[in-house]
Chains A and B, each alone.
Chain A
Amino acid sequence: MLEKYDVAIIGGGSAGLAALKQLSTLGKQAILFESGNKIGAKNISGGILYSKKPKKGKVYNVEDIYENFLQDAPFERKITKYILHATSKDKVFSIDLTAAHEYEANFGCSVLMNKLNQWFSQQAGEAAQKHGGGIVTGVHVSSIRWEDGRTIIQTDELEEIEVKAIIAADGVNSEVAYMTGARQKFSPSELYQGVKVVAKLPEEIINQRFSIGQDEGAAHLFAGDVTLNHIGGGFLYTNRDTLSLGAVYHLDSLLETPNEPYELVNTLLKNPMISEFVKDEVPVRGEIDKDAAKEEQMRIRFAVTKMIKTWSELRDNYYSKKGKERLIKEGKYGSPEEIGTQLSSLRDQMSTKYGIKFETDYVEVEYSAKLVPDGKRCRMEKPYFRNILFVGDAAGRGIFVGPRIEGLNVGIDDAVRAANTVARALDKGDFTEKYLGEYYSQSIEESPYTHDLKAIDKDYLKIFLDAAKEVPKDIISSKYGLVVKMMSSDTLRSFAVGFANILGYEKLLPIIETVDTYVKVPTELAERLGKSISASYTPTLPSIAQRVAKLKFNDDSISHIKVLKPTSEFMKKMVTLCPTRCYLMEEEGVMIQHEGCIECGTCSEETDWKHPRGEKGINYQYG
C-alpha cells in the first residue's frame, strides 16, 4: 500500500519552505523533501533578501509568509548603504546607489542561508505538522512517474509515495526538470557562476569600519579591473559578525577565457579597498622548542590552542553589544571595561608566555559556489509540466539588471503563487495542466517580477543615472553615447526606454551586458577619477586545497556525476572552471574525482549530473 499525501515539495531552500508554509496556512497537507542532512546544508546565496512594494501589482514578500520575520528571524543586517565601486589597480571611483537599492523596497537584508533557512523550516514545519504534513530531510527524489492517473514519487531512501501535485523547488540544477524533460539544462549563456567566501570579523569592528550603526548594513559592489575582463562583478555584504564576499560572472564569459573561480575571489581580496575592509587581528603561534620533551611540546601546543580559543571567543563577545550584555548578565563580568581589561591581559599573556604574535590578516571561514540563473534570458516560458509547478531558481527566475540583484524574493513570490494554485486545485480536485499549470503560469505572468524580467523600468534607470551623473560622458564610448544622451534627458528617456523595450532584452542585452559596461568603462573611470587607496598589509589567501579542507562533506561512495565526453572542449575548460578543482587532465581526457564537489553544477552542461543521495555531499555551515 502506497502512502498518500496531497502535495510534495521537492527542495528545502527558501522557495520550497515558503511554499510549504503557504500551503499549510491555507490548511493543505504538504510534505517537503530535502536531500541535505539538514535544512540549509546545500543552500548558498550572495545574499540579500528583499521585500518589495512595486508601484504596479502585488508581490508576496517574506514577511507576508512569516508574520514574525522582522521581529524573530535570524537575518543578518538591514542594508542601508549600497555603493558601486569602479576599480583600476589601487584606484577606486565610488557611486552611491543607495537610492536605487531602496527603490520600491520595504527593506533588503543580508542573509546567511544556513541559519535563515533553518528558521524558515521551524516555522513552516510546525505549520505543516498541523495538517499531517512536514519536512523530511536526507531524502533525495530519484524519479517521478505517472501510472493509471496516479503520480508516484520514488526516492533513494524511502518507500514510494503517491501525491496529487508537486512543487519543484530544487534549484538551478533542477533534477525534476531534467527527469521530466520540463526544460533543457540552462546553457552557459543563461547562467552566472557565483563564488563566495565568508570572512569572520567582530560585530562592532564591522560597524566602525563600514560606518554603520548596530542595526544597519552595507553592500559594496565592484566592477572594473577586478573582474579580470569578465562580465559581472564582485560584491561585499556585511553580515552580523561576518562578511560575504563574492564574484559573480557570466558562465559563457568564463568559458571564453577561463579563470579559476578562486582566483576571481582572490583578485577581489587583493584589491586594496577590499583588503582593508576584511582585515582583522590574527594571533600567530610561536615556534615550539623542538628540543623539549615530547610531552612538554604537546602540553604547550594544547595550552596555546586553548588560549587562542578563549581569547577569540572573549574578543567576539567584547565587540558585540549582545555578547557583552550576556557576559554581564551571566555575572561573569561587572562591566564592559572589565571585559576589555581581561581581553588585553589575555593578549599580554599570550605573547609573553607563549610567544604568540598578533598580525593583521584576513580570516576566512567558508568557501562556496553556486550557479545563478539569469532570469532575463532563461526564465521558463511554461513553468509547469503535467501536475508539477516550478519555482525560483528551478524555473530560472532571478532579476539581475546592472546593480539590481534579486533572487530570493523572486523565489518566495513564485512559491506563494504555486502554493495558492495548488490549493485551488485541491479544492476543485482538478490537477490537469490546464487547471493547474496554466493558472500558475498566468499568476506568474502577473507578478511585477516577471515584468521586470522582460522590460527596463525607466524610473529605476533615472535613479541610476542620477547617481552616476558625475561620470563624464566622454568616458562612455561612442557606442552608447547617443543612448546616454537620450537617457539623461527627462523627455527623451521615456521614448528611449520605450524604444528599448520594443526591441526587448533579447536584442538589448548584447549591447548592455558587455565587457565595455563591466570592465572598460569602470576601469577608465577609476583611472581618471578614482582615489588611490593603499592596503596596510597583504592578506594571506588560503589555497584551494585549504579551502576545500575546511568544508564539511559526507562523501558518497557512488559518484553523482558522470563525465560523458572526456575530451570535449567544454570539459577541458572545467579543469579550470570547477570551483573546487574536481577535474584533472589525464592522457585519455578529463577525469573527475568527486570528493570535494560542492554541487554547484558548473559542469552539468556536458555531464550526467545528479545531486548526491540523501544526507551525502556538501554540508555548508554558513551558506
Chain B
Amino acid sequence: MDSINTAVIVKLEPDFSEGNVSYNPDGTLNRAETKNILGPHSAIAVSAAFYAKVKYGAKISIGTMGPPMAESMLQQAQLMSNADELCLFSDRIFAGADTLATAEVLKAGVQKMQGKMDVVFSGHRASDGETGQTGPQTAWKLGMTFLGHVIDYEINLESRTIRAKRLVRMQGVYDVVEEVEAPLPVFIAIDPSYKPRFNTVSQRLAYEKYQKEANERAQNFKQYLKVFNAIQIEADPKLIGISGSPTIVYKVERIPKGKAARQAEIIDGSNQEQIRKVVVRLRQSLSTAVIK
C-alpha cells in the first residue's frame, strides 16, 4: 500500500504577540520593525500534515510565496512537521498579488513539488489579510475537491479516500459537525480549532521519532530548501503579481476605538481593608444587576 504525498501552503505573517509587534506613530503596522513568523493558522495546517506523517507515513512538502527571508519560517514549519521538502516561491514579479494571483503562484508551485499530491493543506485564513480566499482559489486552480473547516480526518490508503469532519457554524444558532467522504486528491482548509489526536502507542512512538528527526532536519534545513522564481515554476506572467490581480488594496483605514462605557475603579493591594472594599463594590454591582 502506497502512502500519500501531502503539501502545505503557508504564509509569513507579522508576529502580533506582545513585545514583538511594532506600530507606526499613525497606528499602522510597522512591518520593518515587526518580527515575521509562521502564521498561526498556517501552523495549524502544518500540524494537520504532521498528523498524516505520523499516522500514514505521508511525505510532506511545504510551500510559500514570499520574500527570501521567508526561509526561516519554512525552517520553523519543518521543525514542527519533519517536512521532506521546503519550497520558497520568490520573485519580485509576485509582488502586489491579490488572492487570485497568489493562488496562481501556489498552484504552479505545488505542481513543481516532488510527487503527485494527494492532499494539500492550507490554513483557515491569514492573520494579516483575513480574506480566507487563497486556499479555496488554489484548490480551484489545482482542480481539487475543496474541504473547508476541517477539524478531523482519516484516510483510507487502500481505497484512496478521505473521511473528514467539518465544523459548520450556524451563526448564532448552533454548530454542527458534518462528516464527508471524498476520493483523493483533496484540498483541505483546516479549521482553527483543529487538534491532532494520537491515540495509540505506536502513533505516539512515531510522533516522538519524527519530532526528533525534525530537530535534526531543521538544523540543516537548507538541504531541503528549494527556491523557485516565476520562470522556474512556469507561471503564466499574465496571471501573477499586479498584472494578475483583479483587485488592489486602495486604502486602509483604521477603525477608531470606541470610548469604553465601563466605569473602572482600580483597587490596588492585598490587605484585608482593600479586599473588603472589593467585596463591597461587587455586592453593590450585583444588587443593581439583578433582573427585577
A486 contact set on B, CB distance < 8 A: none
- B24: CB under 8 A from chain A? no
Interface residues of B in 189-214 (CB under 8 A from A): 199-202, 204-205, 208-209
Say how far B110's CB is from chain A's closest CB, in angstroms: 33
A5 contact set on B, CB distance < 8 A: 201
Say how far A111's CB is from chain B's closest CB, in angstroms: 25
Q: SS class of chain B's interface: helix, strand, loop or mixed?
A: helix
Say how far A559's CB is from chain B's closest CB, in angstroms: 24
A522 contact set on B, CB distance < 8 A: none
Residue from A31, A133, A158 whose CB has the most chain B CB atoms within 10 Å: A158
Q: Is the CB of A3 within 8 A of B209?
A: no
A157 contact set on B, CB distance < 8 A: 199
A134 to B204, CA, bound (A): 9
B205 contact set on A, CB distance < 8 A: 31, 129, 132-134, 136
B209 contact set on A, CB distance < 8 A: 129, 134
How many residues of B are in contact with the other chain, CB < 8 A?
8
- A125: CB under 8 A from chain B? yes
- B29-57 toward A: CB 8 Å interface, digit per residue (1/0)? 00000000000000000000000000000
A159 to B205, CA, bound (A): 13
Say how far B262's CB is from chain A's closest CB, in angstroms: 15
A136 contact set on B, CB distance < 8 A: 201, 204-205, 208
Q: Is the CB of A161 within 8 A of B208?
A: no
Q: A129-B209, A134-B209 are in contact. Are A139 and B204 (CB under 8 A)?
A: yes
Which single member of B199, B200, B202, B208 contacts A135 (CB below 8 Å)?
B208
Q: Which residue of B lies closest to A302 (CB)?
A: B19
Q: Is the CB of B208 within 8 A of A31?
A: no
Q: Is the CB of B208 within 8 A of A158?
A: no
Q: Which residue of B lies closest to A31 (CB)?
A: B201
Interface residues of B in 229-274 (CB under 8 A from A): none
Say how far B18's CB is from chain A's closest CB, in angstroms: 11
Q: Which residue of A lies closest to B205 (CB)?
A: A134
A139 to B201, CA, bound (A): 10
Q: Is the CB of B202 within 8 A of A3?
A: yes
- A100-136 toward B: CB 8 Å interface, digit per residue (1/0)? 0000000000000000000000000100010011111
A114 to B202, CA, bound (A): 26
A161 contact set on B, CB distance < 8 A: 201
A159 contact set on B, CB distance < 8 A: 199-201
Q: Which residue of A lies closest to B268 (CB)?
A: A290
Q: 26 pairs across A/B with beta carbons < 8 Å?
A: A3-B200, A3-B201, A3-B202, A5-B201, A31-B201, A31-B205, A125-B208, A129-B205, A129-B208, A129-B209, A134-B204, A134-B205, A134-B208, A134-B209, A135-B208, A136-B204, A136-B205, A136-B208, A139-B204, A157-B199, A158-B200, A158-B201, A158-B204, A159-B199, A159-B201, A161-B201
Shortest 3 CB-CB contacts between residues of A and residues of B? A134-B205, A136-B204, A159-B200
